[in-house]
Amino acid sequence: MATLWKRRIGGRYIYYVDFYYQGKRVRKSTKTSDRKLAELFLKDIEVRIAKEEFGFEAPSSNRIKLGEFFEKYLEFSEATKAANTVLLDGHAQKVFLNFTGNTYLNRITSQRVEEFKLYRLKSVKPVSFNLEFRHLKAMFEKAVKWGHIPSNPFMDVKQVKVKSNNLPKYLTKEEVRKLLDAIPEGRFKSLIIFYLHTGCRRGEALSLTWEDVDLDERKVTIRESKSGESRIIPMNGRLFEILSGLERNGSVVFEFSPYFVTHKFKECLKSADIKGWKTLSLHSLRHTFASHLVMAGRDLYTVGKLLGHSSVAVTQMYAHLAPDFLKVAVESLQY
């Protein structure tokens, strides 16, 4: 797909056409400042490329089908991302491929993406679609960087707006005490305390090995993060006490299945008689960690670093818990 853009030369703008041919970027001047004439020039190039009459060898060597690209991307994903992210990539690929069929990658247009959006929203919630959308958008952005397509067809399509009056659900300090009182002593209780004191995601804690636990330096290294990057979480006194007291029966610190942990946690919420327990999940412990840090006056940047967020914008969901942070910021100025 060719793209049109304009460049100021002398006292006027001239339109240029950018496109990729056999993996190489080509830029041609339309030699006109007339938008309509430039668009005709662009269409002509697209037709000539399609008919293989542009003066180059047949482009079949660079054309790649969607299924082949997805396989290539998944190999990249498995080598650079956390296991759960790889699973989400695979899911998004499957539903998109089922809709489009194994067509050539360069035939996926913004219009086709819009059609996919309407198709998926008939069967899944907006939040679920938005998750699939973000993963697919990242894949096609990589396709651009790898030279398979000139532009990302997902860039001109918007996610579904979701009314977010649902703030992150977290436990109060009293509810945390009730929850811990309801859990028998043992390794599972230690895992729950670990979540509360690190804000880790489910998979991050369950993939933790003893090599990642440094009792001398009192720090935990989280390697299987969603962003694909490692981060270090300092141990406070309680976390040090818990980890130093665990028996080392193997290389993995907490040998539980994700399914068991999720459902066992629900049972514990119910037995602790936590208000609204049905709306809470294991991820609520991550929100609990972050929420109490913000309410204690920790800044969003620091909280985001501990959580492993790729951007402070993600951590912004907790800003409402620190309503005075702007006031505190300006009052710190003394001239």
259 among known catalytic residues: no
320 among known catalytic residues: no
- φ/ψ (deg, to 5) at 241: -60, -45
91 among known catalytic residues: no
d(CA 111, CA 100): 12
- Token match 């759960």: residue? 84
287, 168 Cβ separation under 8 angstroms? yes
Per DSSP, the three-state class of 231 is strand
Closest residue by Cα to residue 43 from 55, 60, 30: 30
63 among known catalytic residues: no
Options 81, 148, 286, 292, the catalytic residue? 286
d(CA 168, CA 234): 24
Burial of 123 (0-12, 13-18, 19+ CB in 10 A): exposed
Options 120, 135, 137, 309, the catalytic residue? 309
Q: How many residues does the chain have?
A: 335
Options 318, 320, 327, 335, the catalytic residue? 318
201 among known catalytic residues: yes
Per DSSP, the three-state class of 108 is coil
d(CA 15, CA 8): 9
Q: Strands 12-21 and 231-234: what pairing? A: unpaired
Question: How is residue 226 annotated by DSSP?
Answer: T
- Per residue in 273-297, is it b (16+ CB within 10 Å) or e — as a string? ebeebeebbbebbbbbbbbbbbeee
d(CA 130, CA 142): 18
CA dihedral (318, 324, 326, 330) positive or negative = negative
Options 148, 202, 226, 287, the catalytic residue? 226
d(CA 119, CA 96): 10
263 among known catalytic residues: no
Options 197, 201, 287, 292, the catalytic residue? 201
200, 82 Cβ separation under 8 angstroms? no
Output Rg (C-alpha) for the chain, integer angstroms: 26
Q: Which residues are catalytic?
A: 201, 226, 283, 286, 309, 318
